């Protein structure tokens, strides 16, 4: 079960990064603040995915959950009050995939935390 959770987390994290990489190429590279943040998101998603694969620690689950929540929170801000001058509309397939991958990362992080807690109780 733990391997499946880890694979789910890796796919979710890389999905978040891919959505942001595509968004960067599509439009975000032309924005002064959000563009670099999109690239930072891509890099962070890869680093976290690697951490999920090699480090069996509860911090990895927390980081995955927090990363997904922060990314989703920034997107919700861009839909409502705006985010560094970006105002989204939730009209594109990429935006839908962004929400799906963010929620998946949040769920994966929670599952990693629960899996770690369970394994600690059994040890």
Average pLDDT along the chain? 93
Q: Where along the chain do its domains lie? A: 2-122
pLDDT band at 77 (very low <50, low <70, confident <90, very high): very high
pLDDT (0 to 100) of residue 123: 59
State mean pLDDT over 44-59. 96
pLDDT (0 to 100) of residue 87: 78
The pTM of the full predicted model, rounded to 2 decimals, is: 0.93
66-69, long-range: CB < 8 A, 24+ apart: 66/109, 67/13, 67/16, 67/105, 67/109, 68/12, 68/16, 68/101, 68/102, 68/103, 68/104, 68/105, 68/106, 68/107, 68/108, 68/109, 69/102, 69/106
């Amino acid at each position: 079960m733990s391997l499946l959770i880890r694979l789910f987390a890796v796919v979710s994290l890389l999905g978040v990064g891919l959505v942001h990489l595509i968004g960067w190429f599509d439009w975000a590279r032309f924005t002064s603040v959000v563009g670099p943040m999109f690239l930072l998101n891509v890099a962070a998603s890869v680093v976290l995915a690697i951490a999920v694969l090699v480090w069996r620690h509860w911090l990895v689950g927390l980081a995955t959950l927090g990363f997904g929540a922060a990314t989703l929170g920034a997107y919700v801000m861009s839909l409502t009050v705006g985010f560094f001058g970006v105002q989204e509309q939730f009209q594109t397939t990429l935006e839908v995939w962004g929400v799906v991958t963010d929620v998946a990362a949040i769920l994966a992080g929670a599952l990693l935390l629960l899996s770690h807690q369970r394994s600690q109780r059994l040890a």
